[in-house]
Amino acid sequence: MTRKIVTISKGLPKNNMYNGKEYLSGIWKEEADELIVRSEKIDDDDIANPEYHGGPDRVVCAYPFEHYAHWEKLFGQPLTNAAFGENLTLAGMTEEQVCIGDVYQFGDTILQVTQGRFPCATINKRNNNNQLLKAVVEMGYTGYFFRVLQEGTIKSDSEITLISAHPKQVSVASIHHLYFHDKAPSQGTIQRMLEVEELALPWRNKLLEKLEKQQ
């Protein structure tokens, strides 16, 4: 499938209700005409919990459009735009197709894939579905993050160009599978993933923990 932007979204943290309790989150994004992307953040877009979200390796969040049909069929209900709190809903760029360190140009903005998303329960709250997080982890349909190599503006009709594919070819999906589903990964497999210098530190630390357990 041709790479394509389906929706672009942004939003500031706000209070919401789930099961009678209030929570503050930046997961609620609204469709926008453009994203003005800076090195540290997107204009008019932010996160509520800097301990687990945001930072220079997680400036732009992307989610594959193809997964929406899967979730809607599985749970029998439609999803709203940016249902996973993503800035970019992308077609033709699933976790299997995208590798850590790949560099893409969106309009005049240049982004590099840094890590898969480590999903949390806010996904359940955002979609009023207490089964969604577990299913996301099982399927590996997490989405992923970019760091910014060149600031710029991304518009809904911006073309997507793969500038450089990382030579190690470690997909977002492969790291997720190793961490969540491979009970006894080989040291060589973990080492190969750690050799990708562009991998964001939080995931690098998770892989190092795995490696220590194997030694």
Q: What's residue 37's pLDDT?
A: 98
Beta bridge partner(s), residue 10? 30
C-alpha to C-alpha distance for 10 and 97, rounded to whole angstroms = 24
Q: Is residue 91 within 8 Å of 81, Cβ to Cβ?
A: no
C-alpha to C-alpha distance for 60 and 30, rounded to whole angstroms = 15
Q: What is the mean pLDDT of the chain?
A: 95
Residue with tokens 């996904």: 123
How much is the average pLDDT of 176-196?
A: 93
* 1: exposed, middle or buried (Cβ count in 10 Å: 0-12, 13-18, 19+): exposed
Q: What's residue 180's pLDDT?
A: 95
Assign 183 a pLDDT band (cuts: 50, 70, 90). confident
Residue 20 has pLDDT above 90, yes or no: no
| 83-130 per-position pLDDT tens digit | 999 999 999 999 999 999 999 999 999 999 999 999 999 999 999 999
Q: What's residue 184's pLDDT?
A: 85
**Which comes out higher in pLDDT, residue 98 or 16?**
98
Q: Which domains occur in the chain, in start order?
A: 4-166 (2.40.33.20)
Q: Is residue 123 within 8 Å of 35, Cβ to Cβ?
A: no
Q: What's residue 50's pLDDT?
A: 78
* 8: exposed, middle or buried (Cβ count in 10 Å: 0-12, 13-18, 19+): buried
Assign 214 a pLDDT band (cuts: 50, 70, 90). confident
Virtual torsion, Cα 38, 43, 48, 54, nearest 10 deg: -20
Residue 215 has pLDDT above 80, yes or no: no
